Amino acid sequence: MFRYISFITLSIFAITNSFGQKTISELINDGNKHQIEKNYKEAIVDFNEVIKLDPKNADALYFRANALFGLNDFKKALDDYTECLKVDAHYVSALYNRGNCYYELKQYEQAIADFTSTITMDSSIYDAYFDRGNTYYKLNNYTVAIADLSKGLLIKPDFADGYYDRANAKFQLELYSDALTDYSKAIELSPNESFYYFNRAVNEFNLEMTAEGCADLSKAKELGDTEAEDYIKEFCE
């Protein structure tokens, strides 16, 4: 879950000249406006201008990295986050977002390292627990994944995806009853996600709860899940 901090308090000086060149703060504000509108290429142009004026501007490096991430250019985004952290080693959002770059690049051990450092720096960032948990899931370390997801849910107990992800990890460990509880909580918090119902249905079939599983597949189909119809034909007709 990628953290965008679009506007922050900037302690920067205005650089301008007699030709009316925009100041650093104006360029950063323009870039952030473009980024909010998902005009990432235009945002990068603004942040490039800032970096020309002030190559060690950590905020500009961070925001440009966010724009690159928005374009799915994870390698270049990772490089910018790294440069930002060279300027300011305590820039926690850059550290966290770099972890997400590593995750997208399937460099899972590096992702875990950055999420861990993020938690060390600021243990209130619940996203770091969820994302580290999901990274451990990718490494098939389901027990540790459950532990991290549980820590995240202690901080953010109304986060539906956290229960869904923890349910998936429990499912992998064949803890079907416990997984059912988490799938149901996810659905309670966010009742319009088709994949919640689909996965709960698969879990219910493993508990020999055929009627409940078929009902969930029908709900998943109603919400637009394209795979649900095939499962209904196989298990429910």
Q: How many residues appear in the chain?
A: 237
Question: How many CA atoms lie within 13 Å of 18's alpha carbon, on the beta-carbon side?
Answer: 0
d(CA 47, CA 212): 53
Q: What is the pLDDT of residues 161-200, one digit of tens each?
A: 999 999 999 999 999 999 999 999 999 999 999 999 999 9
Q: In the numeric block, which tokens belong to residue 29?
A: 């504000």
Return the pLDDT at 21.
73
Q: In the numeric block, which tokens belong to residue 187?
A: 């659905």
Q: Which residue has the higher pLDDT, 24 or 95?
A: 95
Helices 142-155 and 160-172 cross at an angle (nearest 10°) of: 160
Q: Which domains does the chain have, with CATH numbers?
A: 1-105 (1.25.40.10), 158-237 (1.25.40.10)
Return the pLDDT at 3.
39
* Whether 203 contacts 183, CB under 8 Å: yes
Kindly report the pTM of this predicted structure: 0.87
Strands (E), the chain: none
